[in-house]
């Protein structure tokens, strides 16, 4: 059943139930808490007494008195008087037998309803015929014997009933109608949200359906969350797809990168085995090529191992106080040696004093080597390598600068992602995980890695390690 139908049913039922409850409780409370005579009960009582007297006209005054006394016994609060046409009391259950003038009777009749609202006795006068003559039955009831509060309605026609029932129904239904209206509004908003969620397609290239709901209530908040969730899902899916594409590309590159040197190596090894070389120099040259290819493959396999390690576990740090300036100096010296004779300009700024901070030295060394390898591999044409170590109150910063082709701005935010390579079509230059490892190392140390690159001018990688 739809929510709307459910609510309609619920409201109808509760409106009907509350009306029944109202009627029932008001009658019940009236009966238990509001004791006494009701005005509408007195007239029938008077008529029934008159009726029983009129039915026995020939039985004489004794029978009349007996009837009145019995009525008085049944209703001790009520005083009953039998009055003749001249106003003389024929019988008074109180035994006072007063005489009434016409004026007295007229006044009693006139004030009948009014008396009911005051604290005086309430009179009920009923005309009667007995023994062929006209009489009156006068009943007087003390105000204290009447119901203390009584809602009585003078309903003569069905129309007058409507005047009561219609306002009652309206006043009962108004809160329900308001509740229904507000629920319908809420329902509309929920339906919109529902539809949007239903239509949310993470793969589609069409723009995300944004919902406008500026209200601050829970549904408004839910709508805002939906909007941001829809965008997040889309962008995360795009990232996953990108990641997946990079992974596939990596695999195809890798098989290519492994097969090419292997073919060369097999060819040269076969030449050596069959003695198909001119002299010792030629043999050495071929052996050197085999060695180079072996190293290259070894490096590739190392990187693959890194990938599977990264997949398997997060980095676990074994931090001890380590002299970062010494570490950086050692690595810088090594790279200067490697590039010796390559007409490189070196700019090394490492303070002489010891800077010791708690680090996992092998991991930091690996991160620095990854950055330096990249600077040489991708920035070689700049013929410049800068290695600087600086410290401030909060951190120790190692930066590596090259002046090669650099990284276009649109790629800078992605190069720390796994398998991301700026020129993804290029083969044999790496698997796109070097910088992802650098980032992991930096984060494991609660530090950071930043890149600032102006293509063909300067590219700086800055590794920040907190003190
Ligand atoms: P890879 O194994 O491809 O080198 P990295 O994660 O180390 O993977 O680097 C990601 C990409 O960032 C590289 O493919 C390269 O395109 C780019 N890159 C990294 N360092 C530099 C640099 N110094 N100059 C230009 N491009 C760089």
Q: What is the CATH number of the domain that holds 63?
A: 3.30.450.20
Ligand 1 center to 290 CA (angstroms): 27
Ligand 1 center to 323 CA (angstroms): 28
- CA-nearest residue for atom 25, ligand 1, is 406
With 0-12 CB in 10 A as exposed, 13-18 as middle and 19+ as buried, what is 348?
Answer: middle
Candidates 378, 381, 461: which one to mutate for ligand 1, based on the most atoms within 8 Å of Cβ?
378
pLDDT value, residue 111: 67
- Claim: this prediction has a pTM higher than 0.85: no
Q: What is the CATH number of the domain that holds 399?
A: 3.30.565.10
Q: Are residues 290 and 370 in the same domain?
A: no
Q: Are residues 85 and 133 in the same domain?
A: yes
Ligand 1 center to 140 CA (angstroms): 112
Digit-coded pLDDT (tens) for 306-356: 777 766 666 678 889 999 999 999 999 999 988 888 889 999 999 999 999
Digit-coded pLDDT (tens) for 85-96: 899 999 999 999
The atom number, within ligand 1, closest to the CA of 400 reads 23
Residue that is last in its domain, among 313, 343, 370: 313
Ligand 1 center to 182 CA (angstroms): 59
Q: Are residues 296 and 334 in the same domain?
A: no
CB distance 137 to 117 below 8 Å = no
pLDDT value, residue 153: 45
The atom number, within ligand 1, closest to the CA of 370 reads 7
pLDDT value, residue 386: 97
DSSP three-state, residue 83: strand
Q: Are residues 295 and 413 in the same domain?
A: no
Digit-coded pLDDT (tens) for 7-35: 788 888 888 888 888 888 877 877 777 77
Residue 213 falls inside a structural domain: no
- CA-nearest residue for atom 7, ligand 1, is 434
Residue 25 falls inside a structural domain: no
Candidates 247, 374, 453: which one to mutate for ligand 1, based on the most atoms within 8 Å of Cβ?
374
Q: Are residues 398 and 345 in the same domain?
A: yes
Residue 398 falls inside a structural domain: yes
DSSP three-state, residue 405: coil
State the Cα angle at 194 between 188 and 199, rounded to 5°.
Answer: 130
pLDDT value, residue 44: 92
Ligand 1 center to 422 CA (angstroms): 7
Ligand 1 center to 377 CA (angstroms): 8
Given a cut of 90, whether residue 390 has pLDDT beyond it is yes
Number of domains in the chain: 3
Residue 17 falls inside a structural domain: no
pLDDT value, residue 416: 93
Residue 83 falls inside a structural domain: yes
Ligand 1 center to 445 CA (angstroms): 22
CB distance 148 to 162 below 8 Å = no
Residue 55 falls inside a structural domain: yes
Distance CA 328, CA 314 (A): 25
Read off the DSSP letter of residue 57: G
Digit-coded pLDDT (tens) for 206-217: 777 788 888 888
Q: Which domain holds residue 68?
A: 38-145
Q: Are residues 241 and 375 in the same domain?
A: no
Given a cut of 90, whether residue 439 has pLDDT beyond it is yes
The pocket around ligand 1, CB under 6 angstroms, is made up of 370, 374-375, 378-379, 402, 404, 406-407, 415, 420-423, 429-436, 459
Q: Are residues 324 and 379 in the same domain?
A: yes
Residue that is last in its domain, among 313, 329, 357: 313
Distance CA 21, CA 19 (A): 5
Residue that is last in its domain, among 280, 313, 346: 313
Distances (CA, A) of 463 to 143, 280, 350, 446, 452: 99, 48, 14, 11, 12
């Amino acid at each position: 059943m739809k929510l709307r139908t459910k609510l309609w049913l619920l409201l109808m039922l509760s409106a009907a139930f509350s009306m029944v409850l109202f009627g029932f409780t008001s009658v019940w409370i009236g009966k238990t808490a509001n004791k006494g005579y009701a005005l509408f009960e007195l007239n029938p009582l008077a008529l029934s007494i008159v009726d029983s007297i009129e039915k026995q006209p020939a039985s004489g005054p004794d029978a009349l008195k007996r009837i009145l006394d019995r009525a008085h016994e049944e209703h001790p609060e009520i005083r009953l008087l039998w009055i003749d046409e001249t106003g003389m009391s024929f019988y008074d259950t109180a035994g006072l037998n007063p005489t009434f003038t016409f004026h007295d009777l007229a006044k009693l009749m006139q004030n009948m309803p009014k008396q009911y609202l005051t604290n005086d006795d309430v009179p009920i006068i009923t005309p009667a015929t007995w023994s062929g003559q006209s009489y009156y039955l006068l009943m007087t009831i003390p105000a204290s014997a009447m119901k203390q509060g009584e809602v009585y309605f003078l309903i003569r026609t069905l129309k007058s009933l409507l005047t009561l029932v219609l306002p009652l129904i309206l006043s009962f239904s108004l809160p329900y109608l308001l509740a229904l209206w507000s629920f319908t509004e809420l329902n509309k908003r929920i339906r919109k949200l529902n539809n949007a969620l239903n239509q949310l397609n993470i793969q589609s290239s069409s723009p995300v359906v944004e919902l406008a709901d500026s209200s601050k209530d829970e549904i408004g908040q839910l709508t805002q969350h939906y909007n941001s969730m829809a965008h997040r899902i889309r962008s995360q899916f795009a990232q996953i797809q990108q990641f997946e594409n990079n992974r596939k590309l990596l695999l195809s590159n890798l098989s290519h990168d492994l097969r090419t040197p292997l073919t060369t190596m097999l060819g040269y090894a076969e030449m050596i085995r069959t003695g198909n070389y001119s002299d010792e120099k030629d043999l050495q040259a071929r052996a050197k090529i085999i060695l180079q290819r072996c190293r290259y493959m070894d490096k590739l396999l190392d990187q693959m191992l890194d990938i599977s390690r990264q997949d398997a576990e997060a980095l676990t740090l074994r931090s001890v106080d380590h002299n970062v300036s010494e570490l950086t100096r050692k690595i810088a010296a090594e790279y200067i040696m490697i590039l010796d004779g390559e007409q490189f300009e070196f700019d090394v700024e490492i303070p002489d004093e010891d800077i010791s901070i708690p680090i996992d030295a092998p991991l930091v060394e690996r991160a620095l080597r990854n950055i330096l390898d990249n600077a040489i591999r991708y920035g070689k044409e700049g013929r410049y390598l800068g290695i600087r170590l600086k410290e401030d109150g909060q951190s120790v910063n190692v930066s590596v600068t090259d002046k090669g082709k650099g990284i276009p701005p649109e790629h800078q935010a992605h190069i720390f992602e796994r398998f991301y390579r700026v020129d993804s079509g290029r083969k044999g230059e790496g698997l796109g995980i070097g910088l992802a490892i650098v980032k992991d190392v930096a984060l494991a140390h609660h530090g950071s890695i930043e890149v600032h690159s102006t293509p063909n001018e300067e590219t700086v990688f800055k590794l920040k390690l907190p003190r």
